[in-house]
Amino acid sequence: MGSIEAARKEANGSLTEKKPCVVFVLGGPGSGKGTQCANIVQHFGYTHLSAGDLLRAEIKSGSENGTMIQNMIKEGKIVPSEVTIKLLQKAMLESGNDKFLIDGFPRNEENRAAFEAVTKIEPAFVLFFNCPEEEMERRLLNRNQGREDDNIETIRKRFKVFLESSLPVIEYYNAKGKVREIDAAKSIEDVFEDVKVIFTPKEEQVATA
């Protein structure tokens, strides 16, 4: 066990020395998070880390850890926060960057508390893509082009889970003045204009105003 603990300390040591800038990206399914994260990466040099993608990649790798994750998902269990956080830490260290968009995490209060406890990193802010349910539903149905009857049920369940688990995280950071809310119902271009204002340093905004 000692070596795992030592490795964790070492990973934390090198991460905290870097003092990385972490932005949590939250929004319901269909709120356009992925599209906007790609834009932020291109324009502002962030590294985009999706918790879901990292878990899927770990499963694909066939590692012992991946098999455990796969079994948990199959059994309908939630993957422990620590597992996801370790994957995020590893990806952050390997990227060589010090600016990160963490997408789809923390999904709930327990994730949030574990992330701060394990990494000793507090996010610079939370980028919250707020989109009305009807709009997200419309986008997802257009994207899926499948049988609407079975899709709509699944989509509504996903909204419900998002609201119940993620809103407490948004409220927690809102109380600390760390939430930057975006009206995600607008067009992709208009949403990105709002995003740019948030990511552009104040002094540059003044210079270009």
Query: What residues form the annotated binding site for ATP?
Result: 30-35, 143, 186
Query: What residues form the annotated binding site for CMP?
Result: 111
Query: What residues form the annotated binding site for a ribonucleoside 5'-phosphate?
Result: 56, 77-79, 104-107, 147, 158
Query: What single letter denotes the amino acid at residue 193?
Result: E
Query: What residues form the annotated binding site?
Result: 30-35, 56, 77-79, 104-107, 111, 143, 147, 158, 186
